[in-house]
């Protein structure tokens, strides 16, 4: 089986196909700290793509309450258990060696355990029936997309009363958080690796992973192999479907919204009420096959420079392209399992953001156009305090975002302007 380089694992890994990369990669950052669980994103996707017969239980975008919720139910717990059993059989551990951290090529160190591809290879061999360790969820598990909504762990104190020890930073004792999820348009997709019909492909122009509806025969191997359970079976057509990354918007095909043909953000991103999402395209370097170093791209800055945004379960090995700013109140062992060893540094940097990070965070959900480049104009000092015993200063910098053509599409300041309505217009628009 060929070996490919996975930068999130900091090493090469087995994958059924040779290493190949698109020219650009669809990617996004979700800031969990801001998600209010309103499900507007979920409905934006559903009303655009999955409102037809046979798609009733198909939620390409979903928002689940962690730690108990999940769609399909227990998707991550189940796969982690399968992987744990695989490691126990081999007498190894799914451990990270964070001491081998090295810039952007190995930002989190080296993963020393087995990915879903390596675990399947060990168990079933290169010609085995499974290319990636996985399972097919039962019908029951797909039935309740928002099960355990708002259910916290470690509840203490009395109903209706504040219980300070439960909700004191740095780690709350009583906690939950919302995890918004779409297909990760993985660099090494489990769904693609497992499809015996070769019906799944990754587009060379933007890295979007699609299922060819003509070729698919509904064997559900993708449903089994996607570790994030984002390939779904439609019983009325007997073929599988998945998030299409709203590709007409990425292609800039809507003449009304984007007459100059520049990429727009997707439906679930642009609808986000909590302003938690920033989506775009990152350029892939033909020579190094990695993200092109681009200090002025907001995605590159958040993921590779500041390292505040982390992949979801990087240990699965698919190199997902949706990154998360972890929730700062959640116990760290849980977050380290979910986002890898970069969690502590990411939260530290998010809790006391650098001047540049604070400006870049203003770009989230501010325009429908995908932002390819930003510039910052320095402003005056507006606030001083201490965070974690260290002095911290806020500046009212202005950030300017540009589309793919280099045209300015947004200009905003750190301090949001406020407008006071005249008295006579109180409660009116």
272 near ligand SF4, rule: CB under 6 A: yes
221 near ligand SF4, rule: CB under 6 A: no
Min separation Cβ 170 and ligand SF4, Å: 23
Nearest Cα residue to 64 out of 153, 138, 148: 148
The site string for ligand SF4 over 239-258 (x = CB under 6 A, - otherwise) reads: ---xxxxx------------
Tell me how far the alpha carbon of residue 94 is from its chain's centroid.
Answer: 22
35 near ligand SF4, rule: CB under 6 A: yes
Of the candidate residues 69, 189, 263, 342, the single one contacting ligand SF4 (CB under 6 A): 189
Scan for tokens 């009116």, then name that residue: 428
Cβ nearer to ligand SF4, comparing 247 with 392: 247
Min separation Cβ 333 and ligand SF4, Å: 24
276 near ligand SF4, rule: CB under 6 A: yes
Min separation Cβ 6 and ligand SF4, Å: 13
Cβ nearer to ligand SF4, comparing 60 with 291: 60
Of the candidate residues 66, 172, 185, 203, the single one contacting ligand SF4 (CB under 6 A): 185
216 near ligand SF4, rule: CB under 6 A: no
Cβ nearer to ligand SF4, comparing 48 with 398: 48
Q: With CB under 6 A as the contact rule, which of the stretches 113-121, 149-157, 262-270, 370-378 interacts with ligand SF4?
A: 262-270
Q: With CB under 6 A as the contact rule, which of the stretches 145-153, 184-192, 323-331, 409-417 interacts with ligand SF4?
A: 184-192
209 near ligand SF4, rule: CB under 6 A: yes
Min separation Cβ 69 and ligand SF4, Å: 13
Per CB under 6 A, which of residues 312..331 are in contact with ligand SF4? 318
Min separation Cβ 335 and ligand SF4, Å: 18
267 near ligand SF4, rule: CB under 6 A: yes
Per CB under 6 A, which of residues 329..388 are in contact with ligand SF4? none
264 near ligand SF4, rule: CB under 6 A: no
Residue number, nearest CB to ligand SF4:
274
133 near ligand SF4, rule: CB under 6 A: no
Reduce the secondary structure of the chain to three states and give it as a string. Answer: CCEEEECCCCEEEECCCCCCCCCEEEEEEEEHHHCCCCCHHHHHHHHHHCCCCCCCCCCCCEEEEECCCCCCCCHHHHHHHHHHHHHHHHCCCCCEEHHHCECCCECCCEECCCCHHHHHHHHHCCCCCCCCCCCCCCHHHHCCCCCCCCCCECCCCCCCCCCHHHHCCCCCCCECEEEEECCCCCCCCHHHHHCCCCCEEECCCCCCEEECCCCCCCCCHHHHHCCCCCEEEECCCCEEEECCCCHHHHCCCCCCCCCCCCCECCHHHHCCCCCCEEEEEEEECCCCCCECCCCCCHHHHHHHHCCCCEECCHHHCCCCCEEEECCCCCCHHHHHHHHCCCHHHHHHHHHCCCHHHHHHHHHCCCCCECCCEEEEECCCEEEEEEECCEEEEEECCEEEEECCCCCEEEEEECCCCCCCCCHHHCCCC
Cβ nearer to ligand SF4, comparing 56 with 90: 56
Cβ nearer to ligand SF4, comparing 1 with 38: 38
- Beta-strand pair 11-14/3-6: antiparallel
Which residues form the interface with ligand SF4 (CB under 6 A)?
Answer: 35-41, 44-45, 48-49, 60-61, 63, 178, 180, 182-186, 189-191, 209, 226, 228, 230-231, 242-246, 266-268, 271-274, 276, 318
């Amino acid at each position: 089986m060929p070996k490919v380089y996975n930068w999130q694992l900091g090493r090469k890994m087995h994958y059924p196909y040779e290493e190949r990369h698109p020219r650009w990669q669809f990617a996004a950052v979700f800031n969990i700290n801001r998600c209010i669980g309103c499900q507007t994103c979920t409905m934006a996707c559903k009303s655009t793509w999955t409102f037809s017969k046979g798609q009733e239980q198909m939620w390409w975008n979903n928002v689940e309450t962690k730690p108990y919720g999940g769609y399909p139910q227990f998707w991550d717990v189940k796969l982690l258990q399968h992987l744990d059993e695989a490691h126990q059989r081999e007498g190894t551990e799914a451990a990270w060696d964070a001491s081998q951290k090295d810039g952007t090529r190995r930002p989190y160190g080296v993963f020393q355990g087995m990915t879903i591809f390596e675990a399947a290879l060990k168990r079933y061999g290169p010609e085995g029936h499974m290319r990636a360790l996985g399972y097919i969820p039962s019908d029951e598990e797909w039935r309740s997309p928002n099960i355990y909504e708002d259910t916290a762990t470690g509840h203490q104190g009395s109903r209706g009363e504040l219980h300070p020890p439960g909700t004191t930073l740095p780690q709350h004792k009583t906690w939950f958080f919302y995890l918004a999820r779409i297909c990760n348009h993985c660099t090494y997709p489990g769904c693609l690796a497992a499809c015996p019909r070769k019906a799944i492909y990754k587009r060379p122009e933007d890295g979007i992973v699609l299922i060819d509806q003509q070729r698919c025969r509904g064997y559900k191997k993708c449903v089994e192999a996607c570790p994030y359970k984002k390939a779904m079976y439609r019983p009325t057509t007997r073929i599988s479907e998945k998030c299409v990354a709203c590709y007409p918007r990425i292609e800039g095909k809507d003449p009304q919204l984007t007459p100059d043909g520049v990429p727009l953000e997707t439906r679930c991103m642009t609808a986000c009420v909590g302003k938690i999402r920033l989506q775009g395209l990152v350029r892939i370097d033909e020579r190094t096959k990695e993200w092109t170093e681009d200090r002025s791209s907001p995605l590159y800055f958040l993921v590779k420079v500041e390292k505040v945004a982390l992949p979801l379960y990087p240990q699965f090995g698919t190199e997902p392209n949706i990154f998360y700013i972890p929730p700062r109140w959640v116990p760290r062992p849980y977050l380290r399992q979910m986002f890898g060893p970069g969690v502590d540094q990411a939260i530290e940097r998010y809790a006391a953001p650098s001047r540049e990070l604070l400006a870049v965070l203003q770009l989230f959900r501010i325009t429908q156009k995908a932002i390819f480049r930003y510039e910052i104009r320095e402003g005056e000092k507006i606030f001083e305090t201490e965070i974690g015993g260290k002095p911290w200063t806020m500046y009212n910098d202005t950030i300017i975002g540009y589309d793919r053509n280099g045209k300015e599409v947004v200009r905003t300041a750190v301090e949001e302007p406020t407008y006071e309505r005249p008295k006579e217009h109180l409660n009116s628009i």
